[in-house]
Amino acid sequence: MTLTQEKRYAEAQKELEGVPEPPSLNQRIAFFRLKAAIASGLGEAERAAAEIESALALAPGDNGLLLAAAVAELHAGRLDIALQHARQAGNTAAGQELTGDILEKHGDYVEAAKAYQSAVVLAPEREEYRIALALEFAQHYTFEPAIDVLRHAAPLFPKSARIRTLLGISQYAVKHVDDAIEALTAAIDLDPSLEPAYAYLARVTLESTAAPPQHTLDVMCRWNPEVCSALKLRAARETDDAKLRNDAIEELKGASADSAIARCELGRAYEWAGEWTQARAQMEECVRLNPSAETHYRLGLIYGQLELPELARKEMKLRNEAMQRASQDIARHQDAVQAFQYVLK
């Protein structure tokens, strides 16, 4: 048990080799649970499920064992028996969340959302159940219901950076850019170590050509110098501040040659200034490092300004192909999206 608690699973398994089942019922249950924990730690999901099922067979009415068995069976991909055991464990918030996890893995997305909703009702004081519900909506592209859940949750959990991060991501997905910036900045204020919030805030602010609020700019400048310089370019453009623009350009020039942010943002700076030859050089590197629909489009426009029609047509073709791939990916989620519209009451 000590070795298992220290995550030294291989040593723990070796210690148990040849050890017979103990005589008393409680010891036998603990014995099988220990073997299940070791198997799980070693990544042997099937064996872990079998061991915990042996424990459950000794106490089939034990709710804790039912939930433990359902977790192990979920990890082993034995979804039907996992769902049966989770439902037998009683109507608890933890049981409903686990039921949601199993149903999600099974592809029953609407029923999974209902299970997470039940967990929220049973334990309204626990933020993790609201996050699970909102995440279920968000990962199936039904962002408005996710936003609704998270907006109601935010004042109830004023110190939750996770809620605000997921809220910002969901708002960004439906192009509520200002709201997304506000939520993600608030998340970072609450937890300055929350790396995903910085990454999404950078993505939101860089996709916009507008300068973010000053506080958000300050937050980004403490996090990443290249993102900081890129956002300074936007501020300089809005305020017609030539010195700030030149400083930002020099900072981006000093960035690593393989920095997509630096190359793409330098290309943008030269585009705004009408310096098309320099814009071309930077955007060609940008496309090489980040070949997205947007970067192909921007490079195509630059080629147009330079009167290079063949190159412009090639970039627009690549842009359309990238957009088509994105459309096909979104289309694969449409059935689930339509079903979710009716879940949140």
Q: What is the pLDDT of residue 142?
A: 86
| CA 16 centroid distance within chain | 39
Extract the tokens encoding 285. 């590197």
| Structural domains in the chain, sorted by start | 1-90 (1.25.40.10), 124-223 (1.25.40.10)
d(CA 230, CA 238): 13
pLDDT at 327: 64
Q: What digits encode the pLDDT tens for the residues 64-74?
A: 999 999 999 99
Residue with tokens 């793409």: 264
pLDDT in tens, 76-85: 999 999 999 9
Residue with tokens 């991501």: 169
CB atoms inside a 10 Å sphere around CB 172: 21
63 neighbors 90 (Cβ within 8 angstroms)? yes
pLDDT given for residue 271 in this prediction = 95
User: CA-to-CA distance for 250 and 218, rounded, in angstroms?
Assistant: 19
Site of tokens 């960004």: 172
Torsion of CA 318, 320, 324, 325, to 10 degrees: 20
CA dihedral in degrees (35, 37, 38, 42; nearest 10)?
140
Q: What is the pLDDT of residues 226-245, one digit of tens each?
A: 999 999 999 999 999 999 99
User: What pLDDT sits at residue 344?
Assistant: 35
Nearest to 149 by CA among 252, 161, 159, 164: 164
Question: Who's near 152: CB < 8 A, 6+ residues apart?
Answer: none
**Which uninterrupted H or E stretch holds 40?**
helix 25-41
Low-confidence ranges of the chain (pLDDT < 50): 332-345
Q: Residue 324: what pLDDT?
A: 82
Which two structure tokens, joined as six digits, stand for 6? 């220290």
How far apart are the C-alpha atoms of 74 and 72, rounded to whole Å? 5
